[in-house]
């Protein structure tokens, strides 16, 4: 369906060769956009690469997609991607930070090198692409691309709820939430929007889930049937002119279900006596705050309801 909603728009999508990223690329080009599709064909833990993957994907997509097989963590990647978009497609309007790796381990079994590798791919590289791309998106405001520019960050409910053993991944994704909000603020005057999508879709990531509870087992069984295409369609919506006023928000897409998430704000306020005792604080917390406490449930437990496909 090419309704021309994104005709003339140019995007960079990371992690574009498969799963959610590929679905986003397919939908963006179906609405007329052209895409620099970045993917190094990483294994799920990021330890090995297969550059042929993105070349094959781009070829299947046709002229609207240019492959970039460099790792997003490679020095110079971000500037190279922006230059490629401008030189080959004549500009840049859309950034989709989607690529991610996982190295799950309980805190008491993990190691710092794995944590840093996950943060480097899932968070630092996303920052670096925005660092390289946002000057161009700001410049758009002074050209025929005025009032145009979109940043989409692919987050995860693992950061919003938490899940066992995902200290590195959830930390990186929580960092992306902050980055998404800052991008919304920093770019507001240029008419550039910034939003997050927490996706739910069958991918090799879903296949690796090791259920820790019966509800997580239900989640996994259902998740393996969820197509990624609706995430691509919602991304195209956020990129379209119809979403020009939507920024700083966190959405979820699970098949035909779409969610908007709350964001942390104070739920209750209490004033202590001067120099309160620990008993005073205990009493205050129990009476004023305990009713607002957040349950310690994982995202997989929370979304073990049957998806609508
Ligand atoms: N599938 C889900 O249900 C789900 C749930 C929550 C969050 N997510 C998020 O959605 C996004 C896509 O996940 P997916 O499920 O499609 O996973 P996926 O593993 O199928 O796709 C990720 C892609 O990123 C690429 N990639 C990884 N490291 C890279 C690097 N250094 N340079 C370039 N490319 C790199 C991989 O090669 C891969 O093609 C990720 O951010 C993931 O955290 C997915």
Q: Domain map of the chain by residue range?
A: 10-263
> Separation of 159 CA from ligand 1 center, angstroms?
15
15 Cα nearest atom in ligand 1 = 24
| CB atoms inside a 10 Å sphere around CB 157 | 23
State the alpha helices, DSSP H only, in 44-156.
52-61, 77-89, 112-119, 125-140
What pLDDT is stored for residue 208 in this prediction? 86
Instruction: Indicate the SS3 state at residue 37.
Output: strand
Average pLDDT over residues 153-181: 98
| CB atoms inside a 10 Å sphere around CB 186 | 14
The answer for residues whose C-beta is within 8 angstroms of residue 80's C-beta and 6 or more apart is 68, 70
What pLDDT is stored for residue 37 in this prediction? 98
> Separation of 189 CA from ligand 1 center, angstroms?
31
192 vs 147, more confident: 192
Q: Is the pLDDT of residue 155 over 90?
A: yes
Whether 161 sits among the annotated catalytic residues: the reply is no
Task: Report the alpha-carbon distance of residue 151 to residue 159 in Å, rounded.
Answer: 19
Point out the catalytic residue in the list 173, 190, 194, 304. 173
Whether 173 sits among the annotated catalytic residues: the reply is yes
The domain 10-263 is classified under which CATH number: 3.40.50.720, 3.40.50.970, 3.30.56.10, 1.10.1270.20?
A: 3.40.50.720
18 Cα nearest atom in ligand 1 = 39
Pocket flag, ligand 1, residue 39 (CB < 6 Å): yes
pLDDT in tens, 219-242: 899 999 999 999 999 999 999 999
pLDDT in tens, 243-256: 999 999 999 999 99
Average pLDDT over residues 85-104: 98
Q: What is the pTM of this model?
A: 0.97
pLDDT in tens, 39-59: 999 999 999 999 999 999 999
């Amino acid at each position: 369906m090419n309704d021309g909603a994104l005709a003339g728009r140019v995007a960079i999508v990371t992690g574009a060769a498969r799963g959610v990223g590929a679905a986003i690329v397919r939908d963006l080009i179906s609405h007329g956009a052209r895409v620099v599709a970045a993917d190094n064909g990483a294994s799920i833990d990021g330890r090995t690469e297969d550059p042929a993957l993105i070349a094959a994907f781009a070829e299947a997509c046709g002229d609207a997609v240019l492959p970039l097989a460099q790792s997003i963590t490679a020095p110079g990647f971000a500037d190279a991607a922006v230059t490629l978009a401008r030189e080959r497609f004549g500009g840049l309007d859309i950034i989709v930070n989607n690529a991610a790796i996982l190295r799950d381990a309980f805190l008491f079994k993990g190691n710092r090198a794995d944590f840093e590798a996950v943060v480097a791919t899932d968070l630092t590289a996303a920052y670096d692409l925005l660092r390289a791309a946002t000057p161009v998106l700001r410049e758009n405001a002074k050209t025929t691309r005025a009032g145009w520019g979109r940043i989409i960050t692919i987050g995860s409910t693992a950061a919003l709820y938490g899940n066992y053993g995902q200290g590195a991944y959830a930390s990186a994704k929580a960092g992306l939430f902050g980055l998404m909000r800052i991008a919304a603020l920093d770019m507001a005057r240029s008419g550039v929007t910034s939003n997050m999508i927490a996706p739910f879709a069958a991918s090799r990531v879903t296949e690796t889930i090791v259920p820790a509870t019966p509800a997580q087992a239900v989640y996994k069984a259902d998740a393996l049937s969820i197509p990624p295409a609706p995430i691509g369609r919602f991304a195209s919506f956020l990129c379209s002119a119809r979403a020009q006023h939507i920024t700083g928000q966190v959405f979820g897409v699970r098949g035909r279900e779409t969610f908007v998430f709350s964001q942390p704000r104070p739920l209750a306020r209490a004033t202590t006596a001067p120099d309160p005792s620990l008993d005073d604080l205990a009493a205050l917390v129990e009476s004023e705050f305990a009713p607002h406490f957040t349950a310690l449930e994982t995202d997989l437990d929370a979304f073990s309801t049957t998806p609508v496909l």
